[in-house]
Structure 1
């Protein structure tokens, strides 16, 4: 189809200057219109306050800066009356970049949808099992969809080459043999990908879960299709293959809830008045902001020939609070015993006999 508007046939520098001016004017017009559109869209989104609109404007702003000028160039290119070879080469190049821009735009829509769902149904800092489960599923699902978008875009770009299209027909005929060969060669990688999908469905771990892996305590920070990032308490990062969480045992302290119990052990002399220490423990817990009020107790859990063992039990809303509460209780009970019952601290007894035989 011939364009409704076309430039007159020019030669030499006139043609180059005219084509350049038309392209420059087209680009400037597209850029200005795109900025104006997103300026109005951002203002409308802020006035309505709808989170999805805000996320879409934020995520699509950059892809549109490439997509809109490209679309304008594709529309104006037939009007430039370029040479046939130059016209075909320019159209092919613009088509390739246009496919990449569309993939970028689709990725922006996917990420904006994810951000909206996490904002509406995600974890807001409290211990919400369903919210953490949704965040984990969305994280893995979005990665899968983005990978599919990239693969489809690359396939579409390759299919614009005539040589690759003809090669594709011959490859399709031997796809069974190639598939078997690739399957054997990449079976470990494929197994890892399927393990990532299984974790997203069965969810032995979720984002922000507190876990103990290989003797290291930390939080699940990121879940990908091939590995999991565990944020260790001292700010280190432990990268663990996803297959680890399906093949080896590990501790998940927040599988159903983040509420935990903590213990503090003491050694004391037999003369210690246990009931008085028990009352002091209750007073310490009542005054602490870390205690959630669910569980507390003080029990004598062992007795040896030299001392008794006391176990203080307490509860908190999450793992960091349990750790801080244990340290607080240990410190304050030690001060209490030192100040009030110093004679009841652990001691070694020795009995000396004064009987002598001549």
Structure 2
């Protein structure tokens, strides 16, 4: 079920109006809505009527005289404390109902952070900085490595983690909902990209529908960056890496074998600069598998100099942190079928390395993440 969107900002308060005296507002046995809802500022709320017998019904949600939704379920989030009067008109071929409710938005009791508040998952792919950023120590479990990734990324003074080659990922969230504001970019993912060195990672976003604070049963939406419609971008790509049996040969051009679902195979090399294992040592299986979208290779070589082309927009570790090129608009989100979605906001972000390329002496192309933050706080 898609969620309709309300974005309430200081600029939109002028449009908030109470229902007129002419409105007919009733609650019947077959159409009910809570009389009021309480929610904290910048926390998402789900408003949904209980209905019975309304076949093929249409739904019209209004905030004053402004239509703000056309789904049965309304998603609501506001960055302004106050009371908001909503009306819902339900119509089917045989009957109709008009319901009203008030959303009371309270000021938060503790200050929100605009930065990452929690890391939920982390699994890098094969790479020369795997087991180093963050550092793996003998006996570390996956939970321990997720905690280490969190220590690197949480808060304002964040540092760097590596996602390794294709598919390696990190999942993190915030202590509030990042609002999707119309015609504005909403959040930034930080990397270590600079001119001639872009290692693009695809960004996925999710909304905490069940309000349990973890990204468990939420639908993920891809931020459709500039290469989403590129005919060279491969959707539904998957790759498998085999755990190496030999670690002490350096350099090793046939270090880790990989195969993909496009009929391709090859090896990840081990270079003389990084001699530790490039396979995540806390991962118990002998096969490491990832899937998603594969972007075209962006690195080219000229007389031994490798240069990574920056894509236009929509990726992590692509533009420089100081540039608006690294800012992301939630309105770029699409569902698994490529359809644009309207999200009122997001609570969780996933980033994964989006290319499968070796760049000579530079090694594999791997997305690095050095933090993220809400552009509206």
TM-score, scaled to structure 1: 0.23
Which one has the largest radius of gyration?
1
TM-score, scaled to structure 2: 0.22
Structure with the bigger RCO (C-alpha within 8 Å, sep 6+) is 2
Higher strand share: 2
Higher helix share: 1
